[in-house]
Amino acid sequence: MGKDSKLILDPLADNNPITIQVLGICSALAITAELEASIVMSISVLFVLGVGNVVISLMRNIIPSKIRIIVQLIVVATLVIIVDLVLKAFAYELSKTLSVFVGLIITNCIIMGRFEAFALGNGPWRSFLDGIGNALGYAIILIIVGFFRELLGSGTLLGMKVLGDPIEKTGLYAIGYEDNGFMLLSPMALIVVGIIIWVQRSRNKSLIED
Amino acid sequence: MEHVELFFKSIFIDNMVFATFLGMCSYLAVSKKVSTAVGLGAAVIFVLTITVPLNWLLDQYILQPGALSWLGEEYASYDLSFLSFIMFIATIATMVQLVEIVVEKFSPSLYNSLGIFLPLIAVNCAILGGSLFMQSREIATLGLATTYGIGSGIGWFLAILAIAAIREKIRYSSVPAPLRGLGITFIITGLMAIGFMSFGGMLTGGDEPTEANDKAAQIETVQDNSATKEIANNTKVID
């Protein structure tokens, strides 16, 4: 049991897919201007990676190694189509915000990376745990970035005005606080992730690169 | 003119890396040396130039709602657009394999420089992203789709070349230890993206409406006003 829980807990911090393995950066940066979009994106990746890892793990002995990339892509693409259709049916506005980035889950390196590195060599249950663990590690970074960008950029969290009303000058705005609109622009996502990496590596010196 | 505009727009304003963050994984992984960065960048231009027009044809003649009408009347109501992800990625993966085989056969020297990067490209989000943006921005003709493919490829190439050059130089400066490697690369990319945002105003210069247009617009608004007045009057009458 100890080994299995390691599969889930490791990717949350010391083997985080984004900050350590450098996988799946594209979507982490592009859609994190709002917390809600980050959460939905994390759930989508959780579904695709969890189910995909199990499917690939079940098929691992019958996939010829030469065409495995195509097989993996087809499995991911099918799962992503399901996610896309579900989002369009139940959260149409949000699927417009995410636009092409739902489709880009297909080429999200986390998914291909975990298929190659884990699901092709392990049984379904362990692959499932690995998929969930890595998706949660991805989700943590997305939610941290989304939290700070939405809070500092528009003063809201999940659309609720937590810092007071900027027009009626209540809450923090009463003492002269201003939203930093720059946080909503895409370059700040890169810088926020850079700072997360900085914090993480100063806490755990063994992760520092030469 | 349309082509020139789209070309520069896709290189600078909608730069794949700095505006939409596509292909970040390989951008970060392969940018340690300029020579390898050039190899991967060239391969991306190459594959984008082929796959974007090809996927445009697929989209136009198979996937769009009503695109199948060339097969006959009874197919005109089909809408296969939900299949676009799987079709695009299949085209890309196949084309990458095909390009690899052709290049290996006809130009071993090019194969040696591009070879190891080609399989990487099948799962590069910049390639699929190019096709998906082509679809969502509704690019009108095959020619424009090709221009868009080349332009986005060159934009990606410029980005990886620039970051590789900076990373080669930054090795000699004393970056704080926890930031070394990945951290500082992220922050530099962020700063470069801020720089690239200044290109945003590049294409707005020629857009001022001419006088004739203005007059037409004024007439329209006048008509609109009278129309709304009429409606208001009518509602009053009803009231």
Euclidean distance between CA atoms B193 and A75, whole angstroms:
34
Residue A16 has which token pair?
A: 């985080």
pLDDT computed for residue B204 by the predictor: 61
Parse chain A into domains and list their residue ranges: 3-207
Contact A100, B16 (CB under 8 A): no
Are the beta carbons of B85 and A106 separated by less than 8 Å?
yes
Q: Is B231 exposed, middle or buried (0-12, 13-18, 19+ CB in 10 A)?
A: exposed
Show Cβ contacts of residue A31 under 8 Å, excluding neighbours closer than 6 positions. A37, A38, A41, A97, A98, A101
Q: Is A208 exposed, middle or buried (0-12, 13-18, 19+ CB in 10 A)?
A: middle
Q: What value does the mean pLDDT of chain B take?
A: 79
pLDDT tens for each residue of B69-91: 778 777 777 788 788 888 888 88
Residue of B nearest to A79 (CA): B86
Show Cβ contacts of residue A3 under 8 Å, excluding neighbours closer than 6 positions. none
Q: Which residues of A touch B93 (CB under 8 A)?
A: 69-70, 73
* Nearest-CA distance B158 → chain A (Å): 17
The percentage of residues in chain A with a pLDDT greater than 90, rounded to a whole number, is: 5
Residue A136 has which token pair?
A: 């949660």
pLDDT in tens, chain A (210 residues): 567 777 777 777 777 887 787 777 777 777 887 888 888 888 988 999 999 999 999 988 888 877 777 888 888 889 988 998 898 898 888 888 787 788 888 877 788 888 888 888 888 888 999 889 989 988 988 888 888 888 888 888 887 887 777 777 777 777 777 788 788 888 888 888 889 888 888 888 777 776
Burial A103-139 (b: 16+ CB within 10 A, else e): bbbbbbbbbbbbbbebbbebeeebbbbbbbbbbbbbb
| B124 alpha carbon, distance to own chain's centre | 13
Q: How long a stretch of residues is chain B? A: 239
pLDDT computed for residue B20 by the predictor: 81
Residue of A nearest to B91 (CA): A70
pLDDT computed for residue B164 by the predictor: 92
pLDDT at B233 over 60: no
Residue owning tokens 């070394």? B180
Q: Which residues of B touch A73 (CB under 8 A)?
A: 89-90, 93, 122-123
- The angle, 0 to 180 degrees and rounded to 10, between the axes of the packed helices B34-58 and B142-170 is 160
Mean of pLDDT values over B121-144: 84
pLDDT computed for residue B73 by the predictor: 77
Mean of pLDDT values over B149-170: 92
Residue B67 has which token pair?
A: 């695109």
pLDDT computed for residue B115 by the predictor: 61
Euclidean distance between CA atoms A42 and B214, whole angstroms:
48
Please report which confidence band the pLDDT of residue B146 belongs to, taking 50, 70 and 90 as the band edges. very high
Q: For residue A157, what is the enclosing H or E element?
A: strand A156-157
pLDDT computed for residue B153 by the predictor: 93
pLDDT computed for residue A187 by the predictor: 84
Residue (of B142, B108, B120, B139) closest to B23 by Cα position: B120
Residue of B25, B172, B194 best to disrupt the A interface, most CBs of A under 10 A: B25
pLDDT computed for residue A51 by the predictor: 92
Residue of A96, A100, A202 best to disrupt the B interface, most CBs of B under 10 A: A100
Show Cβ contacts of residue B233 under 8 Å, excluding neighbours closer than 6 positions. none
Q: Which long-range contacts (CB under 8 A, 24 or more apart) does B43-46 make?
A: B43/B114, B43/B117, B43/B118, B43/B121, B44/B121, B44/B124, B44/B126, B44/B127, B44/B153, B44/B156, B44/B157, B45/B150, B45/B153, B45/B154, B45/B156, B45/B157, B46/B99, B46/B114, B46/B153
pLDDT computed for residue A107 by the predictor: 79
Euclidean distance between CA atoms B123 and B127, whole angstroms:
8
Q: For residue A160, what is the enclosing H or E element?
A: strand A160-161
Residue B48, amino acid? L
- The predicted complex's ipTM stands at 0.82
Euclidean distance between CA atoms A86 and A80, whole angstroms:
10
**Across-strand partners of A157?**
A160
Residue A158, amino acid? L
Euclidean distance between CA atoms A167 and A162, whole angstroms:
14
- The C-alpha angle A41, B53, B71, rounded to 5 degrees, equals 95
**What does each C-alpha distance from A9 to A43, A112, A206, B81 come to in angstroms?**
18, 20, 18, 39
